[in-house]
């Protein structure tokens, strides 16, 4: 039987009403003890990691998906746009978690997403079906984007929330790392891109079983109160009967649609533009611009996400120790700006080595962690300062803005990086042919397109042969004998190869020249988002000086002791539990 404080022994009671079986009850009557609280937080983090993992798989196998369905890069990106819009709608719906609760959204959202990922996506017969399944997973992710941080807030007093939020932030970060790690070690063995979705779906179903039996939540009267430190637990439990939940939940959107909530939410969304690009386009970028393989592109992602994963937790713990968030946000943002500028400068340096990128993106990722983990903590505290009963509503505004920014950014990218479709669709094949027939392709490029067409139509066309020899001599600055030898070697190249190069060779060449500058323009947009983020730090709740912040805690705990003493003096019936 489950204990009142929600310790490790669980019992879910099915409630009958009007002859129908209702969903399992997950509400805790008392604030959980530390072991139970850690257990719940672990389950929340695991669920978040898996849900994001399932959504991010496409980023690791994007080129393969584009080739499999014969779609353009623009169409592929639009699938992500639709999924983001679905997530934005879901985020607003998830604001009702203040009324409905959070745990069941996470548990059954995980089940639905895992079933779609395991059974649906791998068996999608066309791009429309694939896009539809992606939209479903995006919708579920939008729900979870609100429900999981709300649960983290519920189980974390403010004095320890930095660490808790750091672990929650591991969700999307570790998901990206898992995608990169799994794909970089399996793509060379499991060649079908569908296998990556099968892996993600099967892992999700396993985590669903854990969440089904291991995730609970506070009842509204508990979660609707402000908990500054663990010492607040006694007072919160004593005040349960004094909490008017219905009144606290009135006019939720009006209460939460405030400047110090909406503007920072927008700012952090554009600050994360480089993160969205890493999730969706890093592999495409490194493959198409620098000629890395998909496995190498995902290998670079491993560094990006690993540093981020470590950083968000370490910085979260540090922010709890020093009791301030804003200085860390500012430092992280400024370093991120510098590192993004360095990163974009390499776009036009095609000989940049793999190891150079490892250093650059690791520092860039680490700086993001320094800014984002404290931001998320301060943002939750800012929402609480307005109304702790409407945390999910405040997070819903953030989630909606975040998904809209993602949708808009993904919609714009193909128009900024117009070369991506050509390079993703034809670039790898062109590279393969170039590596196999380097000298012959060089010879073909020395011959005029019209002359090549005449030779394909009639390989014995004497006039065309002499024209080809003359053009090779002129463009390659070689003798007639070498020109004849090169032409003979060219005629031994398979006809499909020459046909492909005639059809797409010039376009690939032009796209290869344009791509670095186009991607560079988008990275500058990301820098703009990082700059916009900086002034909005000042709108959030929190101190700048550690000394002042620590004194606030001392004053709060002194006032807490006075209130508990007053309640004991008034012989409050529940005081015996203190």
Sorted by where each begins, the domain ranges of the chain are 16-416+536-544, 428-512
Tell me the per-residue pLDDT of 259-270, one tens digit each, with 9 for 90 and over. Answer: 899 999 999 999
Residue that the structure tokens 């690939």 belong to: 508
How high is the pLDDT of residue 338?
Answer: 95
Which tokens hold the place of 17?
């009403």
Contacts of residue 129, Cβ cutoff 8 Å, sequence gap at least 6: 120
The Cα–Cα gap between 47 and 58 comes to 19
Rounded to an integer, the average pLDDT of 540-551 is 88
Q: Where are the alpha helices (DSSP H) in 249-325?
A: 252-256, 259-271, 273-290, 294-322
pLDDT range class, residue 18, cuts 50, 70, 90? very low
Q: Which helix (H) or strand (E) segment is 220 a member of?
A: helix 220-223
Rounded to an integer, the average pLDDT of 125-131 is 90
How high is the pLDDT of residue 24?
Answer: 58
- Reported residue count of the chain is 578
How high is the pLDDT of residue 361?
Answer: 92
How high is the pLDDT of residue 438?
Answer: 77
Rounded to an integer, the average pLDDT of 430-434 is 75
CB-based burial label for 169 (10 Å; 0-12, 13-18, 19+): buried
Tell me the per-residue pLDDT of 385-424, one tens digit each, with 9 for 90 and over. Answer: 888 888 888 888 898 899 889 888 888 887 888 777 777 6
How high is the pLDDT of residue 214?
Answer: 84
CB-based burial label for 239 (10 Å; 0-12, 13-18, 19+): middle
Angle between the N-to-C axes of helices 449-457 and 462-476, in degrees from 0 to 180, rounded to the nearest 10: 150
Looking at 25-34, 43-52, 153-162, 343-352, which range is the least confident one?
25-34
Check: CB of residue 113 under 8 Å from CB of residue 119.
no
The Cα–Cα gap between 74 and 68 comes to 15
The Cα–Cα gap between 32 and 88 comes to 32
Please check the confidence at residue 575 and state whether its pLDDT lies above 60: no
Please check the confidence at residue 6 and state whether its pLDDT lies above 50: no
Tell me the per-residue pLDDT of 556-565, one tens digit each, with 9 for 90 and over. Answer: 778 877 777 7
How high is the pLDDT of residue 8?
Answer: 39
CA distances from residue 456 to 42, 369, 371 in whole angstroms, order as listed: 65, 57, 60
How high is the pLDDT of residue 20?
Answer: 35
Please check the confidence at residue 115 and state whether its pLDDT lies above 90: yes
Check: CB of residue 392 under 8 Å from CB of residue 94.
yes
CATH 3.40.50.1100, applies to 16-416+536-544: no
pLDDT range class, residue 12, cuts 50, 70, 90? very low
How high is the pLDDT of residue 538?
Answer: 94
Numbers of helices and strands, H then E, in the chain: 27, 4
7: left (phi over 0), alpha (psi -120 to 50) or beta: beta
pLDDT range class, residue 190, cuts 50, 70, 90? low
Please check the confidence at residue 186 and state whether its pLDDT lies above 80: no
Of 124, 145, 118, which is closest to residue 207 (Cα–Cα)? 118
CA distances from residue 17 to 14, 26, 41, 378 in whole angstroms, order as listed: 10, 17, 31, 41
The Cα–Cα gap between 523 and 509 comes to 22
Residue that the structure tokens 């344009």 belong to: 514
How high is the pLDDT of residue 572?
Answer: 45
pLDDT range class, residue 17, cuts 50, 70, 90? very low
How high is the pLDDT of residue 568?
Answer: 65
DSSP 501: I
Looking at 3-12, 186-195, 280-289, which range is the least confident one?
3-12
pLDDT range class, residue 191, cuts 50, 70, 90? low
Please check the confidence at residue 328 and state whether its pLDDT lies above 80: yes
pLDDT range class, residue 248, cuts 50, 70, 90? low
Please check the confidence at residue 577 and state whether its pLDDT lies above 60: no
Rounded to an integer, the average pLDDT of 179-201 is 78
Q: What percent of the chain has pLDDT over 70?
A: 91
How high is the pLDDT of residue 189?
Answer: 65
How high is the pLDDT of residue 4?
Answer: 44
Please check the confidence at residue 14 and state whether its pLDDT lies above 60: no
Residue that the structure tokens 């703009």 belong to: 528
The Cα–Cα gap between 22 and 15 comes to 5
């Amino acid at each position: 039987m489950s204990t009142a404080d929600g310790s490790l022994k669980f019992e879910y009671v099915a409630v009958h009403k009007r002859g129908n079986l209702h969903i399992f009850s997950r509400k805790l009557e008392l604030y959980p003890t530390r072991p139970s609280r850690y257990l719940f937080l672990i389950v929340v983090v695991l669920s978040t990691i898996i849900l994001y993992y399932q959504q991010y798989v496409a980023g690791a196998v994007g080129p393969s998906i584009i080739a499999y369905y014969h779609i353009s890069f623009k169409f592929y990106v639009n699938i992500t746009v639709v999924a983001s819009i679905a997530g934005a709608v879901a985020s607003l719906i998830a604001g009702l978690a203040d009324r409905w609760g959070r745990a069941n959204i996470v548990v059954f959202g995980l089940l639905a997403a895992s079933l779609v990922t395991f059974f649906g996506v791998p068996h999608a017969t066309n791009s429309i079906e694939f896009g539809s399944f992606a939209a479903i997973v995006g919708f579920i992710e939008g729900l979870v984007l609100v429900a999981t941080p709300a649960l983290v807030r519920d189980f974390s007093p403010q004095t320890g929330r930095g660490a808790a939020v750091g672990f929650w932030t591991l969700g999307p970060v570790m998901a990206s790392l898992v995608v990169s790690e799994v794909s970089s070690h399996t793509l060379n063995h499991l060649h079908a891109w569908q296998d990556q979705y099968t892996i993600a779906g099967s892992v999700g179903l396993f985590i669903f079983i854990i969440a089904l039996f291991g995730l609970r939540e506070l009842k509204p009267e508990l979660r609707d109160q402000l908990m500054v430190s663990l010492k607040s637990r006694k007072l919160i439990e004593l005040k349960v009967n004094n909490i008017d939940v219905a009144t606290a939940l009135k006019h939720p959107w009006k209460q939460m649609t405030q400047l110090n909530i909406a503007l920072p939410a927008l700012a952090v969304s554009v600050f994360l533009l480089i993160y969205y690009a890493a999730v969706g386009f890093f592999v495409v970028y490194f493959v198409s611009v620098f000629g890395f393989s998909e496995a190498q592109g995902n290998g670079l992602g491993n560094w990006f996400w690993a540093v981020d994963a470590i950083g968000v937790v370490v910085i979260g713990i540090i922010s709890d120790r020093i009791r301030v968030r804003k200085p860390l946000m500012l430092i992280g943002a400024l370093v991120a700006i510098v590192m993004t500028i360095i990163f974009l400068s390499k776009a036009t340096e095609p000989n940049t080595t793999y190891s150079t990128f490892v250093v650059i993106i690791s520092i860039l990722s680490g700086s993001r962690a320094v800014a984002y983990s404290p931001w998320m903590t301060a943002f939750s505290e800012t929402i609480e300062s307005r109304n702790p009963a409407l945390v999910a509503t405040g997070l819903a505004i953030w989630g909606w803005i975040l998904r809209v920014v993602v949708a808009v950014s993904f919609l714009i990218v193909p128009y900024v990086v117009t070369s991506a479709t050509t390079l993703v669709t034809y670039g790898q094949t062109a590279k393969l042919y170039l590596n196999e027939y380097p000298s012959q392709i060089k010879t073909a490029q020395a011959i005029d397109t019209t002359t090549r067409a005449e030779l394909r139509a009639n390989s014995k066309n004497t006039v065309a042969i002499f024209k080809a020899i003359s053009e090779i001599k002129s463009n390659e600055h070689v003798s007639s004998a070498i020109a004849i030898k090169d032409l003979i070697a060219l005629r031994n190249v398979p006809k499909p190869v020459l046909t492909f190069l005639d059809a797409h060779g010039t376009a690939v060449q032009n796209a290869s020249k344009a791509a670095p500058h186009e991607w560079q323009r988008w990275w500058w947009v990301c820098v703009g988002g990082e700059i916009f983020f900086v002034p909005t730090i000042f709108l959030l709740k929190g101190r700048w000086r550690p000394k002042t912040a620590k004194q606030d805690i001392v004053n709060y705990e002194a006032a807490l002791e006075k209130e508990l003493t007053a309640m004991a003096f008034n012989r409050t019936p529940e005081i015996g539990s203190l």
